[in-house]
């Protein structure tokens, strides 16, 4: 059985000795950080209490404070890596590949799209909905979970899986993108980033070590390190500094990691400079990461620029470890990303689009709010096997969306996510059959994506409404 995190609150009277087997992390900091010491260090603390070397920890390990959390795991002595990845088929005409990513909470057939459960919830959907539509893995957000309800509380529930009732694999991003979207509300140094919470103005500092500690409390299968995401547009000097800092933070994250049952992915950056992107990927690939999450793209740049940057990043990564492209999720982009060797994707776009009335079909995205759907008795997409289309008419969805009934958010999200999961499965089959090129051509000929002008208009409207609020990414 895969090890699962177990957490318990301890009082000042609770002895630490004998309360752990294989230590993952012990949170003793009243400022919500962790000491970062190993199990051997904790044993030494118990036998000879001493002050933690971390400057934020003012009490000794021999005298824990009320409310501190002892985080342990079920016994595990296996030297096996937390995940494994096997490429099972390759497309001869592109970089597309199909494989299997095996995690402590199950195997994931790749390529795969990850629904985003930013705050331990894929908006409007229950875990049963996610299983029903075929989601193999989901993504959650460290930044948001740090702010509420807090990683210590989630650890008390036994970790993120138990907290949200999801028994499949979970990947957490570091929250770096959300922090850097705060703009003037943050202060960046080589040590880390200090920012004001967008919820209550509280001053919070994140360092590479603290992010790892938080993610180890959360307990997902795959974790990401703190990185610096350069904005778009960005001058070359700023991009180079951000990329170099990301590399230094990556080294610190590797050194800080303690839990043996979690995989750490590295994040190559590089902005819109192709040579810098390849160098960043090579630098990150030289570190002992279990996989890669390509960052700093789909941040406002035109797609004609994004894809060469993806190719430059992939060129610096080895073929043995899984590749994840952060924040990309439109149907046409998934196809192009797979063709360039990407295995995993995530994005809030399909659920956010659904909540705003946009539903995917084989011919492109449609607005279910439009008058053309008012009397439509068939499904929004004939032949779709999702629960929404198999049970409800497009006319009913039109009514729900126009009336802003909550049920619509669930039904629309199920449809869009099932569309993407099924799309990934079709690509996997085509890669295995050696027909990916023909499949890709047929999809491109039929599917009509939104125009660049329309995407820009929608983005500007969204930014004008939500500004620097990181919740806009949910």
Q: Which residues are catalytic?
A: 173, 346
- Based on DSSP, count helices (H) and strands (E) in the chain, helices before strands: 17, 19
Q: Which residue has the tokens 């929608």?
A: 458
| 3-state DSSP assignment of residue 103 | strand
- Residue 396 backbone dihedrals phi, psi, to 5 degrees: -70, -40
CA distance 183 to 379: 43
CA distance 106 to 46: 36
In sequence order, the β-bridge partners of residue 367 are 358
**How would DSSP label each residue in 238-295?**
HHHHHHHHHHHHHHHHHHH---TT-EEEE----TT-HHHHHHHHHHHHTS--SEEEE-
Cα dihedral across residues 461, 466, 468, 469: positive or negative: negative
Residue 49's CB: how many other CB atoms inside 10 A?
Answer: 13
* Planar angle of CA 338, 340, 342, nearest 5 degrees: 50
- How far is CA 283 from its chain centroid? 22
Q: Which residue has the tokens 């070397």?
A: 53
Helical axes 436-446 vs 406-433, angle rounded to 10°: 140
What are the structure tokens assigned to 426, written together?
Answer: 């079709």
428's enclosing H/E stretch is helix 406-433
Say if CB 7 and CB 71 are below 8 A apart: yes
Before 149, cis peptide (omega within 30)?
yes
- Residue 23 backbone dihedrals phi, psi, to 5 degrees: -80, 130
């Amino acid at each position: 059985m895969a090890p699962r995190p177990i957490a318990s609150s301890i009082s000042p009277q609770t002895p630490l000795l004998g309360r752990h087997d294989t230590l993952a992390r012990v949170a003793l900091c009243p400022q919500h950080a962790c000491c970062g010491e190993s199990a051997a260090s904790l044993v030494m603390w118990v036998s000879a209490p001493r002050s933690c070397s971390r400057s934020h920890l003012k009490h000794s390990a021999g005298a824990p404070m009320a409310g501190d959390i002892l985080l342990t795991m079920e016994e595990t002595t296996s030297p096996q890596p937390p995940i494994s990845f096997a490429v099972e088929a390759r497309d001869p005409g592109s970089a597309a590949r199909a494989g299997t990513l095996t995690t402590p909470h199950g195997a994931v057939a790749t390529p795969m799209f990850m629904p985003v459960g930013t705050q331990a919830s894929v908006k409007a959907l229950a875990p049963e909905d996610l299983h029903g539509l075929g989601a193999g893995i989901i993504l959650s957000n460290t930044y948001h979970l740090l702010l509420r309800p807090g990683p210590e509380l989630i650890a008390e529930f036994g970790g993120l899986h138990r907290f949200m009732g999801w028994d499949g694999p979970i990947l957490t991003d570091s929250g770096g993108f959300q922090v850097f979207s705060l703009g003037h509300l943050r202060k960046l140094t080589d040590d880390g980033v200090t920012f004001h919470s967008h919820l209550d103005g509280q001053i919070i500092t994140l360092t590479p070590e603290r992010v790892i500690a938080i993610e180890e409390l959360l307990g997902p299968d795959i974790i990401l390190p703190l990185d610096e995401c350069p904005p778009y547009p960005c001058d070359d000097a700023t991009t180079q500094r951000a990329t170099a800092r990301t590399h230094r933070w990556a080294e610190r994250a590797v050194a800080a990691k303690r839990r043996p049952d979690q995989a750490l992915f590295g994040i190559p950056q590089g902005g819109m400079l192709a040579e810098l992107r390849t160098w960043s990927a090579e630098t990150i690939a030289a570190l002992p990461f279990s996989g890669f999450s390509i960052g700093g793209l789909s941040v406002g740049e035109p797609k004609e620029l994004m894809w060469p940057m993806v190719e430059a990043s992939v060129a610096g990564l080895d073929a043995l470890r899984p590749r994840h492209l952060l924040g990309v999720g439109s149907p046409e982009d998934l196809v192009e990303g797979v063709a360039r060797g990407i295995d995993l994707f995530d994005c809030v776009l399909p659920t956010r689009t659904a909540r705003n009335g946009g539903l995917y079909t084989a011919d492109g995205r449609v607005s279910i709010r439009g008058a053309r759907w008012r009397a439509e008795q068939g499904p929004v997409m004939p032949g779709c096997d999702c629960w929404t289309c198999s049970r409800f008419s497009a006319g009913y969805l039109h009514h729900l969306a126009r009336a802003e009934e909550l049920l619509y958010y669930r039904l629309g999200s199920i449809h869009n996510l099932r569309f993407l999961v099924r799309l990934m499965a079709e690509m996997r089959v085509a890669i295995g059959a050696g027909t990916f090129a023909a499949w890709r051509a047929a999809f491109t000929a039929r599917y009509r994506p939104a125009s660049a002008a329309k995407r820009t208009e929608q983005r500007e409207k969204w930014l004008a409404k939500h500004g620097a609020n990181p919740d806009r990414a949910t």
